[in-house]
Chain A
């Protein structure tokens, strides 16, 4: 699948700020899309698109913090860098508590913003990679037969083959076979690896 390059999404109600940011990001070769309001961004939001969000806080209609909350509600994990003309500590703390990557004040040094955008994009890549991996693991798990699933559970609980055989009322040898198949299907390199994968698969929210 051809991936769209990561895009920086800029949301700010001030025309001049949007336009100047567009120019700046262009100057560093980052693709940019600008939106004049949080609603406008939400309306066109596609969770599949890679990138990060550069977001003003005080805007008419939906504020930046409100947008952050909405995105959290729909489990969108796009990383957010807040930019604001206000020097409000409680606001900054709140944004950070709700998962913002960073929070910088206007006017800013271009390098500061660019650094943070890069960090955010990196985070997005990591997230997506993580997501991808989780999807892969989940898909692999779906390939398991019900019996193999049972074995997987018990193995990852740390039980010995003998005990598992007792629990499932099968021979130890059967357990060994199932276990080998599970390892193969899950492409696990070790038990620890398998455990990690299971934990990963069970995650529902972004780290």
Chain B
């Protein structure tokens, strides 16, 4: 099904979803990704995003590690449970190694400490956008 959805979005700008309780942070990431050519949808909570999911399938998910209703880790695990292999990048304002490793073990694509996001984010997301969601698994 992801393939299908991806084919559908091929003609339009690829969709990236941002989940972050902090509005300023959401805006920042949205602007950054927008400049890469992505269409961005932002959500303040994990549930809001999950609710949106079946209809809008992003090629990439950017989520804050600490969400008010669900940890970023839990979100990852939920996506995996649903069989949705959406490439996910976790952002953390307050990062520690343990959380990072856990996130990676749960299948995150990357785990980025917040003050340093710009370059790392671009490095990770740009290829995804180029591939347009067609990633070999």
Contact = CB atoms under 8 A, between A and B. Distances in A.
Nearest to A82: B101
A90 B132 CA distance: 26
B96 A103 contact: no
Interface in A49-89: 87-89
Contacts of B113: 89-90
Interface centre among A87, A89, A90 (most CB of B within 10 A): A89
B105 A102 contact: yes
Contacts of A89: 92, 95-97, 100, 111, 113
B104 A97 contact: yes
A105 B104 contact: no
Nearest to A93: B111
Contacts of A90: 113, 116
A92 interface: yes
Contacts of A87: 96-97
Contacts of B96: 87, 89
Sort chain B's interface into a size bin.
Answer: 10 to 19
A93 B105 contact: no
A201 interface: no
Interface residues of A, number: 12
B88 to A, nearest CB: 13
A92 B98 CA distance: 9
Contacts of A93: 100, 104, 110-112
A103 B110 contact: no
Interface in B82-102: 92, 95-98, 100-101
B104 A96 contact: yes
A89 B95 CA distance: 7
A80 to B, nearest CB: 13
Interface of B: 92, 95-98, 100-101, 104-105, 110-113, 116
Closest 7 CB pairs of A and B: A96-B104, A103-B101, A89-B95, A92-B100, A92-B97, A89-B100, A93-B111
Interface of A: 87-90, 92-93, 96-97, 102-105
Given A93-B110, A97-B110, A103-B101, 11 more contacts: A87-B96, A87-B97, A89-B111, A89-B113, A92-B101, A93-B100, A93-B111, A93-B112, A102-B105, A105-B97, A105-B98
18 contacts: A87-B97, A88-B97, A89-B92, A89-B96, A89-B97, A89-B111, A90-B113, A90-B116, A92-B97, A92-B104, A93-B111, A96-B100, A96-B104, A96-B105, A103-B100, A103-B101, A104-B101, A105-B98
